[in-house]
C-alpha cells in the first residue's frame, strides 16, 4: 500500500522505499528544461510548413491529416512523421486533435491566431523565424565561451559565432531585416494594445512620445490611435526607417540612440537592449 510519511515525504510501496515524493517534481522540472528546445523547434517547423495557415484557411473547422498533408508547401513523403508532429503540437495546446472518422483531423486553438501569417495583425510567425534561426541558436551554444572567456571580452555570443552583431547582420541581409521588422511589429501590436487599453493614465498630459528603436512604427501608430493628441516619433537606425514616410500622425527619425535622441516628454524603449553590450547601455546616460 503506497503512502507518504513524515516530513521526508518518502513514498512507500509495501516494505520497499521508492523515490522521495519531492524528487518526482524535481526530476520532472529537470526533464522539462532538458527537452524544452523540442517545443521551440516543433513550433518553428509548424511555422515553416505553414500548418496553422493551412488549417485556418481550409474553410472548415477541422482538416483531415490527408488534406493537410496535400496542402503543405512541399510534397509530404512522410505522413507518419507529420502525424507525430501534429500530435505534439496538440500536446502543446497549439492545435486541437480530433479522432472522429477514418483518420485524425486538426483544428486551431485560441493561441493559433498568433502564428497565422496572412490573416492576423498580431502574428508572431516572423518573430519565431528570426529568433529560432541558426545564427541565434548558434549563439546560444557559445554562451559558455561568452561567460568564461576565450574571445573578445566585449563581444556578445552572437558576435563570437557569426562575426558580426545582430544589427550588423540585419543591415547586410535584406530578407532577414524584413523578417526581423515583421516579427518586432507583430510583437509590438500585442504589447501596444495592452498598454493603450490597460494603462491609459501613463499617456495623460504627454505632448511628444519618442519610441526609441521603434522599428517600422507599429507601437507608435497604436499609441497615436488611442491618443490622437500625442505627437509620436519613431527613432531607429537608418536601415530600419529608410523609405518610411510620416503617416497617421507618426514621424520617423534616423539616428544612433547612443549618440543622441530627439527631445520628448516620454521615451518608450521596448526590446531595445537585447542585442546591445552593457557598454552601450552605459552610454545611454550621455543622452539623458
Domain boundaries, the chain: 33-114, 127-287
pLDDT of residue 216: 85
Range in 12-16, 75-79, 215-219 the model is least confident about: 12-16
For domain 33-114, the CATH class is mainly alpha
Give the C-alpha distances (Å, rounded to integers) separating 88 from 38, 40, 195: 10, 12, 33
Residue 10 has pLDDT above 60, yes or no: no
Characterize the bridge pairing of strands 95-98 and 105-108.
antiparallel
- Rounded to 10 degrees, the C-alpha dihedral 195/128/125/269 comes to 30
- Per-residue pLDDT reduced to its tens digit, 189-230: 888 888 899 999 999 999 999 999 888 898 999 999 999 999
Element (H, E) at 164: none
DSSP 249: T
Class of domain 127-287: alpha beta
* pLDDT the model gives residue 273: 63
Lowest mean pLDDT among 1-15, 109-123, 163-177, 255-269: 1-15
Task: Give residue-wise pLDDT tens across range 149-177.
Answer: 766 667 788 888 888 888 888 888 888 88
Helix then strand count (H, E) for the chain reads 13, 10
Determine the Cα angle at 209 with ends 204 and 211, to 5°. 135
Q: What average pLDDT does the segment 2-8 reach?
A: 45
**CB contact at 8 A, 45 and 85:** yes
**Is pLDDT above 50 for 66?**
yes
C-beta separation of 225 from 241 below 8 A: no
Task: Give mean pLDDT, residues 122-134.
Answer: 86
**What was the pLDDT predicted at 20?**
61
> Quick check: 239 pLDDT over 60?
yes
Among candidates 72, 67, 173, 159, which has minimal Cα distance to 129?
173
Looking at mean pLDDT, say which of 2-16, 71-85, 145-159, 180-194 comes out highest.
71-85
Q: What local confidence, expressed as pLDDT, does residue 18 receive?
A: 56
pLDDT at site 4 = 45
Please give the Cα distance from 179 to 201 (Å, whole number).
Answer: 33
3-class secondary structure, 80:
helix
Please report, for residues 42, 138, 222, 226, the alpha-carbon distance to residue 218 in angstroms, rounded to integers and kept in the order given: 28, 29, 6, 13
* DSSP bridge partners of 107: 96
pLDDT computed for residue 160 by the predictor: 87
Angle ∠(156,132,273) on CA atoms, nearest 5: 40
pLDDT class of 115 with cuts at 50, 70, 90: very high
Section 58-73 average pLDDT: 94
Q: State yes or no: pLDDT of 135 exceeds 50.
A: yes
Determine contact, residues 257/214, Cβ cutoff 8 Å: no
Query: What mean pLDDT, rounded, does the chain reach?
Result: 84
Report residue 59's pLDDT band, with 50, 70 and 90 as the boundaries. Answer: confident
pLDDT at residue 15 tops 70 = no
Q: Are 145 and 89 in contact (CB under 8 A)?
A: no
Least confident of 39-53, 139-153, 255-269: 139-153
Q: With a cut of 80, say whether residue 9 has pLDDT above it.
A: no
- pLDDT on residue 8: 44
Q: Work out whether strand 208-212 and strand 266-269 pair parallel, antiparallel, or are unpaired.
A: parallel
Amino acid at each position: 500500500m503506497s503512502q507518504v510519511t513524515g516530513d521526508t515525504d518518502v513514498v512507500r510501496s509495501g516494505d520497499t522505499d521508492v523515490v522521495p515524493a519531492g524528487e518526482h517534481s524535481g526530476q520532472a522540472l529537470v526533464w522539462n528544461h532538458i527537452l524544452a528546445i523540442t517545443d521551440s523547434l516543433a513550433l518553428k517547423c509548424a511555422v515553416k510548413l505553414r500548418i496553422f495557415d493551412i488549417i485556418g484557411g481550409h474553410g472548415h473547422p477541422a482538416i483531415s491529416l490527408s488534406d493537410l498533408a496535400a496542402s503543405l508547401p512541399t510534397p509530404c513523403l512522410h505522413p507518419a512523421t507529420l502525424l507525430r508532429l501534429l500530435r505534439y503540437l496538440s500536446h502543446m495546446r497549439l492545435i486541437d486533435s480530433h479522432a472522429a472518422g477514418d483518420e485524425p483531423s486538426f483544428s486551431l486553438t485560441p493561441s493559433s491566431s498568433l502564428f497565422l501569417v496572412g490573416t492576423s495583425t498580431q502574428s508572431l510567425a516572423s518573430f519565431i523565424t528570426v529568433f529560432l534561426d541558426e545564427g541565434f541558436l548558434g549563439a546560444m551554444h557559445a554562451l559558455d565561451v561568452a561567460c568564461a572567456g576565450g574571445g573578445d571580452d566585449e563581444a556578445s555570443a552572437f558576435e563570437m559565432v557569426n562575426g558580426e552583431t545582430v544589427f550588423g547582420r540585419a543591415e547586410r541581409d535584406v530578407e532577414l531585416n524584413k523578417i526581423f521588422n515583421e516579427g518586432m511589429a507583430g510583437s509590438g501590436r500585442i504589447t501596444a494594445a495592452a498598454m493603450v487599453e490597460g494603462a491609459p493614465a501613463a499617456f495623460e498630459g504627454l505632448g511628444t512620445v519618442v519610441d526609441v528603436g521603434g522599428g517600422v512604427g507599429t507601437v507608435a501608430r497604436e499609441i497615436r490611435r488611442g491618443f490622437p493628441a500625442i505627437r509620436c516619433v519613431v527613432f531607429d537606425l537608418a536601415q530600419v526607417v529608410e523609405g518610411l514616410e510620416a503617416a497617421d500622425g507618426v514621424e520617423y527619425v534616423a539616428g544612433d540612440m547612443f549618440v543622441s535622441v530627439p527631445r520628448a516628454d516620454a521615451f518608450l524603449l521596448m526590446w531595445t537592449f537585447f542585442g546591445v553590450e552593457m557598454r552601450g547601455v552605459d552610454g545611454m546616460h550621455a543622452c539623458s
